[in-house]
Amino acid sequence: MKKFIILLFTFTLTLVACTTKAPEPESIFYTEAQVKDIIADGHLYTIHEFIDKYMTEEGNYLNDSIHRYRTRATKGDGVYLFSMDTLPSTGEGIYIRARVETDDEGGNFYKTFVLQQIVNGEQQNLRVGVDAGSISGLYPRGQELIIRCNGLAIGRYANQIQLCTPSYNNNIYANKESEKVGWAPGRIDVATFKRNSWRIGMPDESKLQIDTIAITDYINKLNIVENRKYDGRLVCVTGVHYTGQLNDNGEIKNCSFDNPETATDANVFAPTTENMNYPQSRYVKDINGNLILISVSEYAKMARFYIPGAGSAYDGKYQYTISKNDTQQPTEGTYLPASINGTTYYVMVPEERVAEGFHTDDVIFIPDATKEEEKALIYDGAQWVNKVGILHCPEYSGSVKGVLSFYMDNAKYDAESSDWAISICDISDIQMKTVEGTPWNPTEYSNKNK
């Protein structure tokens, strides 16, 4: 009996000894009073001071006899879209301090975040790649950080300045792979970044500065070097609407209503890229007709959602098809007359729709389905146009918030206005409604009717 009591007592002590203690906030979040101790062995730079001091145009990964960057990095004019400068691992500590302005919950900033520092009321920004999924769990939006940059690198990927580590790309399956072989900024391993960073205070998203901008503030800035200091700014454009259009190698084209799993031009935020993995973009327009692209990754949560005002050609209330034979006025039933180039066509509609009202701008016209160019025309009230599924985009207007991006990955082309885009973090960064006040309701693509 005594042995049983002793054993039970020992087991109880063992359970108590194995109980873990939750970490104290003080062990995770450092106070302002501790900042001086953190940076005691070095110098704290502003982001622009850090870039000016340690980032060169060519970087130190370029050899006189062998181009170690990808061939599209430069066109021989001394400007490099891809570069890297390694930072000394010893000596004086190199520190920067800034606040995280992005999150990866929407999937549009994968293993990447953007830092914001406010100096004299102006944003200074820097992109950081860290090889960790769900990085916002460690460094949420609004978290202020001090980063010791010794042993890391500062470089540019597609002209966007990044805190990084060197990475060699030799993906033989990439599109135009011969142009992309070489060194480029890579992600910092998570253990190294955690060791070199300190969280200052608790996350506070309200401390972030969002600049309300006009599209014309940036869209005409085409100086490749100067534009680096604007990239990464947290901005908001107001009074804009989606146009239902995309940029296709410099040409503005209407999105289609096709399946985004197979059609690169589908009227969603980011359809397939057919394994090329570049950010997809859709235009928004302001009241004066100025355009800027809104960028979303095909792997983001909102990728297969229709852009505001868009939809399927099959899921609307008033989607009807007419042909060349529909020119005789019906003697019974309910119908919609539509005049096309002097010919009146009659579209039969269900009786129950009469009370709701039906609209000519929702009627699909397929005069000859054997001709590709005559498929999927829609009447906009004046003419038949190839805008099925995007005709109603201008009905929703409002604001878009996100990270200003100047992305240019091929030096053989000149800078264009389409190199500018705004990258949203989440679908909630888009706030739009109709003139009647009806808010835009995000709807995901469905092929149930096809």
For residue 358, the model assigns a pLDDT of: 67
Q: Residue 420: is its pLDDT beyond 90? A: yes
Nearest to 260 by CA among 108, 445, 450: 445
- Which amino acid, one-letter code, is at 82? F
Average pLDDT of every residue of the chain: 88
Mean pLDDT (whole number) for 262-279: 89
Q: Which residues pair with 281 in a beta bridge?
A: 295
Q: Residue 91: is its pLDDT beyond 50? A: yes
Highest mean pLDDT among 207-221, 309-323, 370-384: 207-221
The set of residues, in sequence order, having a beta carbon less than 8 Å from that of 11 and lying 6+ positions away, is none
pLDDT, tens only, 371-412: 655 566 777 777 778 888 898 999 999 999 999 999 999 999
The set of residues, in sequence order, having a beta carbon less than 8 Å from that of 101 and lying 6+ positions away, is 113, 114, 115, 116, 125, 141, 208, 234, 403
End-to-end Cα distance, the chain: 76
Mean pLDDT (whole number) for 337-345: 79
pLDDT, tens only, 173-199: 666 777 788 889 999 999 999 999 999
Mean pLDDT (whole number) for 249-266: 91
Mean pLDDT (whole number) for 206-227: 98
- Which amino acid, one-letter code, is at 314? Y
Give the H/E segment covering residue 168.
strand 160-169
Tokens describing residue 14: 């063992």
For residue 350, the model assigns a pLDDT of: 78
Confidence grade of residue 65 (pLDDT, cut at 50, 70, 90): low
Confidence grade of residue 271 (pLDDT, cut at 50, 70, 90): very high
- Which amino acid, one-letter code, is at 140? P
Strands annotated E in 170-271: 182-186, 188-189, 197-200, 211-213, 234-242, 245-248, 251-254
Q: Which residues pair with 385 in a beta bridge?
A: 378
Q: Residue 415: is its pLDDT beyond 70? A: yes
For residue 226, the model assigns a pLDDT of: 98
The set of residues, in sequence order, having a beta carbon less than 8 Å from that of 36 and lying 6+ positions away, is none
Cβ pair 442, 398 in contact under 8 A? no
CA 175/CA 72 separation, integer angstroms: 13
Confidence grade of residue 15 (pLDDT, cut at 50, 70, 90): very low
Of 434 and 362, the structure prediction assigns the larger pLDDT to 434
> Would you state the torsion angle of the CA atoms of residues 189, 192, 194, 198, taken in this order, to the nearest 10 degrees?
-130
The set of residues, in sequence order, having a beta carbon less than 8 Å from that of 414 and lying 6+ positions away, is 222
Nearest to 92 by CA among 150, 143, 47, 49: 150
